[in-house]
C-alpha cells in the first residue's frame, strides 16, 4: 500500500508540474490527480474496505498500462483521438483486473463483465470507424493550442485523466465479490437481475440512439439539420444518457458486498460527467455553433437536455 501511495504521489507531482497555466479545466485535473491517493488513504484508515479497495488499486496498474499504450500509439500516429477507441478497452481491462484481484467464484461479477464486453465491442467498432484515420475534435484543437508542449501534456490531459475517470467508474467491480465469510449464493442475486435490467435499458438507449443518428446523417438531405426524431425527441443526448444508465446497472452488482454502496460514487460521477460535466456541454456548444443558435435553441426548448421527460 505504501509503495502504491509513493508511486501515485510521484505521478501526481509530474502531472501537476506538466499542467499548463492555460489548460482547460485545471480544477478538474487537480481533483482527479488526487483521487487515487484519497482511495489509498481510505483503504488504510478503514480496514473493512481494505480488500475491495486493494483490488481496485491493483487494477489501477492495468488502467495505467492501457493508458500508456494508448498514448504511445497516439503519439506515434499524431492522433490522440485514439483515446475514444482505447476508452472501451480501458474500461473492460480495468473491470477484469478488479474481478481477478477480488477473487471469489460468484457468477455476478462475470455477468457484469460480459455486459461490459458487449458494450465495449460495439463502441470499439464504432469508434474504430471514425477516429482511427484522423484526429477529431477536441484533440486537434488541443494539439494546435499547446504546440510542442502537447507531446508530454497529452498523456496527462487525455490518457491519465480519462484513465482515472474510468478507474473510478469501474469501482463497483471491486465490490461485486462478497466479503470473506459472508453468506453467498451460487446464483445471481435479485440486485444482479435488477442490474441486468437497468443495463439493458441504458444499452438500448445508446445503441438505438447511435443507429438512428447514423441513419439520419447518411441522408445528404439532412446535412446541417438537427436530428429530432426517435429517441432524439425524448432527450437531446440519448447516447450519453444510455451510457450513464449502464453504469448504474454495474453499481447494483456491487451490492453483493456489505460496503458495496460506496460504489455509488461511480454512477453518480458518470451521470454528472455525461450530463453536466463534460460530454453533453461540449457537444451542445458544438451543435449550437454548427447548426445555428436559433435552430438549436428551438430544439432545446422542445426536448429535455439529458434525462427523458425531465427538465434539468
| pLDDT tens-digit readout, 261-276 | 989 999 999 999 999 9
Under the banding of pLDDT at 50, 70 and 90, the label for residue 27 is confident
What is the average pLDDT across 283-302?
A: 92
Euclidean distance between CA atoms 185 and 150, whole angstroms: 51
pLDDT of residue 47: 61
Under the banding of pLDDT at 50, 70 and 90, the label for residue 132 is confident
Answer yes or no: are the C-beta atoms of 266 and 233 closer than 8 Å.
Answer: no
Identify which of 250, 236, 241 has the alpha carbon closest to the alpha carbon of residue 271: 241
Kindly report, residue by residue over 66-95, the tens digit of the pLDDT.
Answer: 999 999 999 999 999 999 999 999 999 999
Kindly report, residue by residue over 37-51, the tens digit of the pLDDT.
Answer: 777 777 667 666 667
Kindly report, residue by residue over 108-117, the tens digit of the pLDDT.
Answer: 999 999 999 9
Q: Output 294 or 185, whichever has higher pLDDT.
A: 294
pLDDT of residue 7: 82
What is the average pLDDT across 131-156?
A: 91
Q: Does the pLDDT at position 204 exceed 70?
A: yes
Q: Output 104 or 33, whichever has higher pLDDT.
A: 33
Q: Does the pLDDT at position 246 exceed 90?
A: yes
Under the banding of pLDDT at 50, 70 and 90, the label for residue 211 is very high
Q: Output 138 or 44, whichever has higher pLDDT.
A: 138
- Of 29-33, 223-227, 295-299, the poorest mean pLDDT is in 29-33
pLDDT of residue 213: 96
Euclidean distance between CA atoms 89 and 79, whole angstroms: 17
Q: Does the pLDDT at position 3 exceed 80?
A: no
Cell readout for 123 is 463502441
Under the banding of pLDDT at 50, 70 and 90, the label for residue 122 is very high
> Hey, how many other C-beta atoms are within 10 angstroms of the C-beta on 3?
7
pLDDT of residue 49: 61
Under the banding of pLDDT at 50, 70 and 90, the label for residue 56 is confident
pLDDT of residue 183: 52
Euclidean distance between CA atoms 32 and 37, whole angstroms: 10
Cell readout for 2 is 505504501
pTM for the model:
0.91
What is the average pLDDT across 165-179?
A: 90
Identify which of 260, 253, 248 has the alpha carbon closest to the alpha carbon of residue 109: 253
DSSP letter for each residue of 11-33? HHHHHHHH--TT-TTHHHHHHHH
pLDDT of residue 52: 81
Q: How much of the chain, in percent, has pLDDT values that exceed 90? A: 67
pLDDT of residue 102: 87
Kindly report, residue by residue over 185-196, the tens digit of the pLDDT.
Answer: 568 999 999 999
pLDDT of residue 50: 67
Kindly report, residue by residue over 249-264, the tens digit of the pLDDT.
Answer: 999 999 998 889 989 9
Amino acid at each position: 500500500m505504501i509503495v502504491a501511495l509513493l508511486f501515485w504521489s510521484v505521478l501526481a507531482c509530474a502531472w501537476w508540474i506538466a499542467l499548463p497555466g492555460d489548460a482547460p479545466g485545471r480544477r478538474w485535473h487537480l481533483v482527479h490527480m488526487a483521487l487515487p491517493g484519497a482511495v489509498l488513504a481510505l483503504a488504510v484508515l478503514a480496514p473493512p474496505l481494505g480488500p475491495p479497495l486493494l483490488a481496485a488499486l491493483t487494477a489501477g496498474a492495468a488502467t495505467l498500462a492501457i493508458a500508456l499504450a494508448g498514448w504511445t500509439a497516439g503519439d506515434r500516429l499524431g492522433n490522440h483521438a485514439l483515446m475514444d477507441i482505447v476508452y472501451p478497452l480501458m474500461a473492460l481491462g480495468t473491470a477484469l483486473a478488479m474481478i481477478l484481484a477480488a477473487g471469489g467464484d460468484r457468477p455476478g461479477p462475470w455477468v457484469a463483465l460480459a455486459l461490459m464486453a458487449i458494450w465495449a465491442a460495439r463502441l470499439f467498432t464504432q469508434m474504430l470507424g471514425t477516429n482511427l484515420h484522423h484526429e477529431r475534435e477536441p484533440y486537434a484543437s488541443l494539439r494546435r493550442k499547446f504546440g510542442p508542449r502537447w507531446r508530454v501534456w497529452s498523456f496527462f490531459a487525455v490518457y491519465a485523466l480519462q484513465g482515472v475517470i474510468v478507474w473510478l467508474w469501474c469501482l463497483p467491480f471491486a465490490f461485486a465479490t462478497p466479503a470473506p465469510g459472508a453468506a453467498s449464493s451460487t446464483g445471481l442475486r435479485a440486485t444482479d437481475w435488477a442490474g441486468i435490467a437497468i443495463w439493458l435499458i441504458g444499452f438500448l438507449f445508446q445503441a438505438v440512439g447511435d443507429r438512428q443518428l447514423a441513419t439520419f446523417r447518411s441522408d445528404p438531405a439532412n446535412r446541417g439539420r438537427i436530428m429530432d426524431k426517435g429517441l432524439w425527441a425524448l432527450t437531446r443526448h440519448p447516447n450519453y444518457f444510455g451510457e450513464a444508465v449502464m453504469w448504474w446497472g454495474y453499481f447494483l452488482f456491487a451490492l453483493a458486498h456489505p460496503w458495496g454502496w460506496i460504489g455509488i460514487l461511480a454512477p453518480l460521477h458518470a451521470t454528472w460527467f455525461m450530463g453536466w460535466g463534460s460530454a453533453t456541454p461540449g457537444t451542445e456548444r458544438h451543435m449550437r455553433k454548427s447548426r445555428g443558435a436559433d435552430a438549436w435553441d428551438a430544439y432545446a426548448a422542445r426536448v429535455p437536455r439529458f434525462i427523458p421527460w425531465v427538465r434539468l
